[in-house]
Amino acid sequence: MHTTAILTALPLDRADPAPLFRQLYAAIKDAILRGAIGPGMQLPPTREFCRLLAISRQTVLNAYAQLSAEGYLSGSVGKGTFVSADLPIAGAGAGAPGLLRPLSARGEGYLAAMRQVAYHRGKLRAFRVGMPAIEHFPFDVWSRLEARRWRRPDHLMGYSDPAGYLPLRELLCVYLKASRGVNCTPQQIVITSGSQQALYLLSTMLLGPGDAVWMESPGYRGASGPLHAGGARVFPVPIDAQGLDVAYGAARCPQAKLAYVTPSHQLPLGVSMSLQRRLELLAWAAKARAWVIEDDYDSEYRYTGAPLASLQSLDRAGCVVYVGTLSKVLFPGLRLGYLVAPPALAGALVQAKAVLDRHTAIVPQMVLADFIAEGHFGRHIKRTRELNAGRRALLMDGIARDLGDLLACGPADTGLELCVHFRRGHDEEAVARAGLERGIELRPLGHYADAGAAAECRAAPGQLLGFSAIPEAEIAHGLKVLGAILRGE
């Protein structure tokens, strides 16, 4: 096609708020880069061009001037304007999708891993999992504390310590010691952008491609994702009534470099790891010189007795990395989590954090430190624990009263969700699809099993039902809908 014809067909939108010369500049630039106008080709004189496009000559002059300044055009008065002859343009079809360079093996691994992770979408409804009772968070208090910080900015508003805001780490150190028995100093704590970033840091720092990792199965897909993406060989280990089956893992994958566990409240089955099993795991890790990641994601919400002591509190070999999140206690959008590393590992993780994103956003850390120091954090946990306990009781009582012949409840001492198993031969995926069609969210237990996991590493068919964020009336409605689905009504 002739240059004049190509340029005459350039898209210009007079209703667009962008100036016409910027639109013309962008259109010509695009035509050059995709090879429609090749190096050395002459552009029409400005007077002819403005007549063809019905625009002012100044518009054309401005566009040509910008393109010339950036090196796309060359020329002089009396000789005409040309596409620069030395541009390394590949030619027509250079942007065709089929010619895109492939992703790296790690990039493909990330895509595969993220396809396994479920996201919350749309209006909150029964029985969405993983969500705290956001409507009961004291946002007015948080806003006041944040406004106070903005009114009094200090030197920490610049680049900050990659490990995180020191006063927050000091407060977390005291809190974790009192509530979870975690033995640490502030220098062992690294503030992260949620527990997900902590898991990513650990997977990249502690594992190499092909290294074997024990992963609870069924288990948290958000943890297996970074492991798969990093090239680790994830080995599913089954869960029984005492937690992770250490003997199974030691017999079938003794060379593992790391074990990922949720000992206080296993996701999704809800069991707590027994003391005997914890000691077995620590003994294996010490002997195998392996790491253990303890993900303590929702231990604040224990409804029968005090929270259990952490696995980290039993560690004498320096092999446990404790990971926590504030998403389940405060709100997920905050994106604040933390890890507690053994002293020998802490420095390396701080350096890795600095490379990854320099540091987590500082103002939310400051506000959280104030929130904890002034007592709001403790009061909020107490208030939401009572709220969650009431919603948990409503859910369990409703199941016992109306669905006891259809569902069997798993352990429910801790957490924001309840695991239920079918008493009859229902297809969990079909039940979940039917739930969505009728306006409720169900999470099949099969979602938590790693692809290719052995039969013993898969849960009996059932669902995980979230209750923490669900109002009482919606819980009652959800149970009614679920019962109708299970009864084929």
Quick one: tokens of 242? 């005492």
pLDDT at 314 over 50: yes
pLDDT tens digits, one per residue of 350-398: 999 999 988 999 999 999 999 999 999 999 999 999 999 999 999 999 9
Let me know: does 271 contact 291? Beta carbons within 8 Å.
no
Name 393's bridge partners: none
pLDDT band at 77 (very low <50, low <70, confident <90, very high): low
pLDDT tens digits, one per residue of 185-213: 999 999 999 888 999 999 999 999 999 99
pLDDT at 43 over 90: no
CA angle 124, 127, 129 (to 5 degrees): 85
The backbone region for 247, taken as left when phi is positive above 0, alpha when psi lies in -120 to 50, beta otherwise, is alpha
pLDDT tens digits, one per residue of 401-458: 999 999 999 998 889 999 999 999 899 999 999 999 999 999 999 999 877 788 889 9
CA angle 131, 419, 480 (to 5 degrees): 80
Comparing 286 with 43, the larger pLDDT belongs to 286
Give the C-alpha separation, 477 to 166, whole Å.
46
| Phi/psi at 143 (5° precision) | -65, -40
**Strand locations in 86-209 (E):** 189-192
Quick one: tokens of 120? 């919350």
pTM: 0.81
For residues 327-347, give the mean pLDDT. 92
For residues 54-80, give the mean pLDDT. 85
Strand 243-244 and strand 320-325: the pairing is unpaired
Per-residue pLDDT, 91: 47
Nearest to 434 by CA among 489, 379, 387: 489
Judged on CB neighbours under 10 Å (0-12, 13-18, 19+), 225 is: buried
Report CA torsion sign: 121, 124, 130, 131: positive
pLDDT at 229 over 60: yes
pLDDT band at 156 (very low <50, low <70, confident <90, very high): low
pLDDT at 8 over 80: no
Q: Which residue has the tokens 């250079």?
A: 94
Angle between helices 194-206 and 221-229 (to 10 degrees): 40
Among residues of the chain, what percentage have pLDDT more than 90?
58
Count the Cβ atoms, other than its own, within 10 Å of residue 138.
15
DSSP code, position 164: -
Mean pLDDT of the residues in the chain: 88
Which secondary-structure segment (H or E) carries 295? strand 291-295
pLDDT tens digits, one per residue of 103-130: 776 676 666 665 555 556 678 899 999 8
pLDDT at 99 over 50: no
pLDDT tens digits, one per residue of 21-38: 888 888 888 888 888 888
Per-residue pLDDT, 451: 72
pLDDT at 133 over 70: yes
Among residues of the chain, what percentage have pLDDT more than 70?
92
Per-residue pLDDT, 262: 96
Per-residue pLDDT, 377: 95
pLDDT band at 221 (very low <50, low <70, confident <90, very high): confident
Count the Cβ atoms, other than its own, within 10 Å of residue 487.
11
Q: Which residue has the tokens 């009781």?
A: 393
Per-residue pLDDT, 116: 53
Report CA torsion sign: 110, 116, 119, 121: positive
Per-residue pLDDT, 94: 43
Per-residue pLDDT, 33: 83
Which secondary-structure segment (H or E) carries 43? strand 42-43
Per-residue pLDDT, 95: 43
Per-residue pLDDT, 113: 60
Let me know: does 28 contact 72? Beta carbons within 8 Å.
yes
Angle between helices 362-373 and 139-151 (to 10 degrees): 120
Q: What is the SS3 assignment for 415?
A: coil
